[in-house]
Every structure is written in C-alpha cells, then in structure tokens.
Structure 1
C-alpha cells in the first residue's frame, strides 16, 4: 500500500518582462528580530517584540527558545516571550545547524545561567564566518570553553568585566558580547564593534532592560544590571528586503513605492541606485519611491561594514549590473564564498568574470529564462530578480533559502505586477 505524504519542494515559476508598479509594505528586519528574541533569555519578566517577520529563521528561533524552556507565542507579527522558567542550557545541533544566529543563545545563557552548550552553528554556506571572536570575549569574562562532540561547552561562575578589541568587525560577535556582559555590573569596554542598524536595535532593547551602553565611534562602554526588566519593542524595517524590492522596481523600468522603511539605514544602497540611473524620492520618514525606465549605468561596488555597501545586497546589485550599459566591477570584502550565484546567473546568459574577490560584469540588453538553483539566502533573491528581467520563463529551485529571510516575497512582487508563482508538489513515498 502506498502512503502519500507532503514532502514539499517549492520552486518559483517566473515569466519575465513585466514592469513593476505600485505600493508595497516592507517587513520587519530578520537580522534585528533574531538577536532581540535571544535577549529575552536575560530576564524573567515578560517581553513583547513587534513587527517580527514570518520566516523560517524566526520559527527556528522560537523552536530553540521553547527547547530551552521559554514560553513563546507568535501572532500578528508579534512575539510574546516569558523566560521565567528557563530549564535548559543545551541548544541541540539539529536546531542550531539550521541558522547561524543560533549561536546568539550563548551570551544570554552564560549571563543568566552560567552555562551554555551549543552546537556549531549553520546557516548559509557563504564563508567560514568563524565564531572565535565570540569565544574570545567569553574567555576574557572568565568562561571556560571546551569543544567536543560537535558542541561548544561553556561555563562561567562570575562574569568579569571585559576590555576587548575585536580583530575583525563582527555583527553577531558584537551582539553576543553585549548580551554576555549585560548582567555584569562593572564597566566593560568593547572596541572595533559593529554598528549595523540591527546591532543598534539590540542596543536599544538592552537599554530598555536596564543596561547602560554608551557608543563612541566603534567603541561601546557597557555597565550591566543583575535585575534586568522585560520590554516592549518594535523591530526596525528590513533594509535588505527594502533594497531588494527597490532594485526590482528599478531594473524592470518600474515605479514602486516602499512603505514602512527607514531611509537613513539604506544610504549606500540608495546612492548606488541613483548612480545607476534610478530616480529616488523620499516621501516622508518611512516611504521611498523608486523609478526606472531609462538607461542603466554600470557601477563599481565594494562591500564593507555599515555604513558601507552591505554584502547582503551584493548579489541583487549584480543582477542590475548584468543588464547595465557597460562594464561593472563588484568586490566582495566580507565573505570569501559569496559569488555562488554567479554560475546560476551565467545559466541565464550573464557575462561575468571572477578574479579573486572581484567580479567583472559585462552588461548586456537582456538575460534568458532558465532553470536555476538557489545556493544561499541572498543568492535566491538575485535569481528571482534575474527572472523578472529575463526573456521567457525562469524556474528558481531550492527557495527554502529565500524563505529563511524574505516574508512572502513572491506575493509582494505579484502585488506590483510581477508574473511569479510559487509551485508546490508532493512526492509519493512507499
């Protein structure tokens, strides 16, 4: 007898050539939501997190918190958390390997319980992204660390104040260090910290909880508090989703208004769009209008830490460069393995030459529809954008990567006039 089970493998079917037009609302930031959700481990009091996107990574984070004994409810883009009865310090490998942000339970667990056992983190395969910068701060604070059986075993009796300079600027390293030190009442100093808007959103939350944090350039001075409060916080808009939709509007010759955005977080992206020939209008504090339709100019892009050009937008802007009038140059300085989308774009006729950490992109009139495979979260978005401007039909497979970081992207694009469908099929198993 054969049983039919739903083993879904979704893909996108895209017919290119449609001009995007209309208004779309941008979701809350994934990269801000996840560390803020982990920060709830620091207090016994109830916490409310608003404007949280409905994503696989958010669902994975909720599952991880529940495994640790936290009460979590997620409805209407709001997460209600009460970590009064944290009963475990063990973050199992099968959850942690799904997303790199899982390592962010380490700092708050050490601060709250003095112990943490965390599987080696997973996520997108875009580079080594070592967690040694996290562990060095923990060690300076008095933590004993051992790695065995694929797990990081950490234990600390009394967290000592830390004075530390990060060897490289690291977003999750800065976030983990801040949460680790948030209950240490003596003065700590972190230098060469990340200043991304998502990091600063976590800083705002920790301040609401009772942590004193001063920011002077790339230096943070922290005075923690043993008795941390609960909080009610609205997550910032997702600047990467906003940038992706802005590029989509521009390259299709469209006229798109993005609502619920924070323009000051998108400075480098908007400047590059203007340089490429887009008309960008700021319509108040949280709305942007992007208009295309003319010549697309080639670009020179070099990714760097905020406020520089974000690595998370490199793949999307590469699609723009593929149909620009001239030769573009894109240098990736953050991750050493973040050109995996190049092979897939070449399937669609893109002319791209790789020279070390630099991609030379030879612009042309159009791309051609093809069957392509997502390799990571932002690569998925770039293939969708390529499908929007390609002649014919494009099939984008392995889109579970995209579902980790974009909420209903196909529905938002469809509302703007894109011809895109999510197709799900079920496999029969005997």
Structure 2
C-alpha cells in the first residue's frame, strides 16, 4: 500500500527492508487482507463439529500450515485464490502442532489447536515456541473434562470422544474463542464468562455461529 502511495520500500518479505524517503505520498485505494486468525478459527470449528464451512475473503496462502494440519486431522480442504472450505466427516485425528512466527503455525491459534486435540482420536502434543505462560487456557479446558497436562512449553492432550459442560472463563481473545468451540462439542450447556475478550477479535461471533446452526445465545449481565 505504501508503494502504491508513492513510497520507496524495498525488501518486503525478506529479513531486511530498505526505505528511501520521498517528498510526499498520494492517495490510493487498498483492500485490507482478511484476518487469517479469524478465518482459521472457522476452519477449526468445522473440524471439531464434523461440519462443512466455507470461508471467503481470505488468502489461503497465508494459512497453508494450518490447512495442512486440518487435512492431517482428516478434514477435506479445498482452496481458491480468495477462499477455502473445510469439511469433516469423521472424528478428527490427533495432530502435533508447534507454534512459530509466520509462516509457521500461529500462536494465536494454539488454544483452538488444543480444543481440537481434546476431542481428537489419539494423543496430541502442542508446543508453544512464541510466548511464555500461554497455557492458562488448559485449566479451563480441564473444567470441560479435557485430558490435558502442561510441562513448560508443551501441552499433551489425549483426545476424548466428548467433553462435558461446565462454567468457564475467558482470559483473552483466542482463549475465549477456543472455549466457545469446545462448548459446541461438549455434552450439555456450557457457560462462557468474560466474553468481552472475544468481542475484541471476532465481530458478530455469536451471530455467525447461529447462522451456521450452533445452539448458542449471548446472555446479558
């Protein structure tokens, strides 16, 4: 976008960028890329619920490792230049995930990966390589009956056929989204508290889930 406005920026995508100053920039039109974390959340939701979800307005090239992991979990994944579709027919298979900076597996999808692993067939290891102490989410998953334990940068999750319902609390945006996805596959009614965190990163999250057939409602106060 800056170059379209007349800037001289070289080296995008490489370890070094060179910026040469110019007298002024001029107006331009630019389309913002789709949010890859939100898009991937819907893909993981499809895999967890054995559903069929198409996500438009996103470049699948930004999510190749995530889509490969969903394929490894047993999902059918199809892609176009600006969309992808995830269809899951059977119980997901266990997959190992290690978070890394782009183009690696995003740390912001780590909670969703744990949620998926909690109902997968087999044992998964989730390794957090980006941030320290980002496994608080696991404590809430254990409330839902997940068989999970953490050790340093690793979480080991043994998948169960089904989770159980319980009240749980969001600690951040992504943990909140992961708990909602877990609630979709839990037996009974799951209460997710402090959902204001989710609002910061997922516009119309509940409305979109309802449009996909989820039994979910937002309870005020």
Bucket of the pairwise TM-score, normalised by the shorter protein: over 0.9
Aligned-partner SS, 2:156: strand
- Aligned twin of 1:239: 36
After TM superposition, give the deviation of residue 256 of structure 1 in Å: 1.4
Is the Cα contact below 8 Å between 1:321 and 1:362 reproduced in 2?
yes
Written as runs of structure 1 = structure 2, the 5 A alignment for 1:130-169 is none
- Aligned twin of 1:368: 164
- Aligned twin of 1:339: 135
Once the two structures are superposed, residues 309-359 of structure 1 have per-residue CA deviations (whole angstroms, 9 ceiling, x without a partner) of: 110111101111001111100110111021111111110001111110110
Is the Cα contact below 8 Å between 1:242 and 1:261 reproduced in 2?
yes
1:254 aligned onto 2:51? yes
CA RMSD of aligned residues (A): 1.2
Please list every run of 5 or more consecutive structure 2 residues that lacks an aligned counterpart in the other structure.
none
Aligned-partner Cα distance in 2 for 1:226–1:355: 54
Aligned-partner Cα distance in 2 for 1:345–1:231: 46
Aligned-partner Cα distance in 1 for 2:49–2:35: 22
Structure with more relative contact order (C-alpha pairs < 8 Å, separation 6 or more): 1
Aligned-partner SS, 1:208: coil
Aligned-partner Cα distance in 2 for 1:298–1:253: 14
After TM superposition, give the deviation of residue 398 of structure 1 in Å: 0.5
TM-score calculated relative to the size of structure 1: 0.50
1:277 aligned onto 2:74? yes
Equivalenced residue count is: 220
Higher Cα radius of gyration: 1
Of 180, 190, 198 in structure 2, the residue corresponding to residue 402 of structure 1 is 198
Once the two structures are superposed, residues 366-389 of structure 1 have per-residue CA deviations (whole angstroms, 9 ceiling, x without a partner) of: 101111000011000000000010
- Aligned twin of 1:219: 16
Please list every run of 5 or more consecutive structure 1 residues that lacks an aligned counterpart in the other structure.
1-204, 426-430
Aligned-partner Cα distance in 2 for 1:379–1:222: 37
Aligned-partner Cα distance in 1 for 2:156–2:94: 11
Aligned-partner Cα distance in 2 for 1:289–1:232: 29
- Aligned twin of 1:354: 150
Aligned-partner Cα distance in 1 for 2:14–2:56: 30
- Aligned twin of 1:328: 124
- Aligned twin of 2:100: 304
Is the Cα contact below 8 Å between 2:50 and 2:91 reproduced in 1?
no
After TM superposition, give the deviation of residue 293 of structure 1 in Å: 2.1
Aligned-partner Cα distance in 2 for 1:362–1:389: 16
Which of the two has greater strand per residue?
Answer: 1
**Would you identify which runs of 4 or more consecutive aligned residues in structure 1 move more than 3 Å?**
none
Aligned-partner Cα distance in 1 for 2:164–2:23: 59
